[in-house]
Amino acid sequence: MEYQTLTPSNRKYPKRLLERLGENAPRKIFCWGPLDFLHRFTMAVISADSISGLALMSTNQLLFTIREYDLNLIGGWHSVMETEIFRLGLFRKNFTVTLFTAKGLRCETFDLFLETRFYPPLHEFPERKEYFRRAEEGELLIFSVSPPEEAKMSRRNIIYRNWIACALADVVFVPFAEKGTKTLAMAKRVLSSKIPVFTTDHESNHDLHQLGISAFTRKTVGKYLEQLGARQAPPPEKKPVLVNLREPIEQIKNKPAGFIQEKLNL
């Protein structure tokens, strides 16, 4: 992977990191792919792996609204809920996806990135082909703040990776966290740093609610995102279906009312 190295003096270095972290911003960022993804409204995702079925359903309710916005998603994409949102990012044309690995970019590849997240028999997930298409065509952005030769994902590197991913984002979504998880500790750190962060209103997230993290429903999350600067994606263009002019006029006359207008997309 032909990565580039960004330092704070480089004009391509993410300004948001300097604004939020100052002298604590990473001295080196290693990346490959379109950096202009970060010019889009970016949502980081962190979630504990112990999410319950009901909490997962509550998250999916929010995603029914979130998926209608133009977003760049960023994360490590490890936990169950994170990988589901990762797949949604590949499925939706209005989403771009940024990968953030805890390994060095001399050791990470797009194949290995998937292998450590989708184990058999789940490795043949439906969006796999789209993932590699985007990788091949330069439509995936990958970041690392680990030394390029780092081949293992240490706990220290993972926590630091998650923190920088959150600092890069316009907003952080925490589908689930509870006491004793590194996700709750990260959510607390994000909140204290005044980075916008939100979760679901499901009762299983009471530890997040007690921290003062905003909770939303499918009906309210859209307004919150728009207040932060997110915009809804334009509706997909409808391809007009032409009337078969060779069809006998008598058959057309027998069609239901409005048939011709519908076919002409009027």
Per-residue pLDDT tens digits for 91-116:
999 999 999 999 999 999 999 999 99
Distance CA 30, CA 148 (A): 8
Q: What is the mean pLDDT of residues 149-164?
A: 96
Residue 142 and residue 158 in contact, taking contact as beta carbons nearer than 8 Å: no
pTM of the model: 0.88
128, HSE (Cβ side, Cα atoms, 13 Å)? 14
Per-residue pLDDT tens digits for 223-236:
999 999 999 999 87
The pLDDT, as a whole number, for residue 255 is 54
Distance CA 233, CA 153 (A): 35
Residue 101 and residue 147 in contact, taking contact as beta carbons nearer than 8 Å: no
Per-residue pLDDT tens digits for 8-67:
999 999 999 999 999 999 999 999 999 999 999 999 999 999 999 999 999 999 999 999
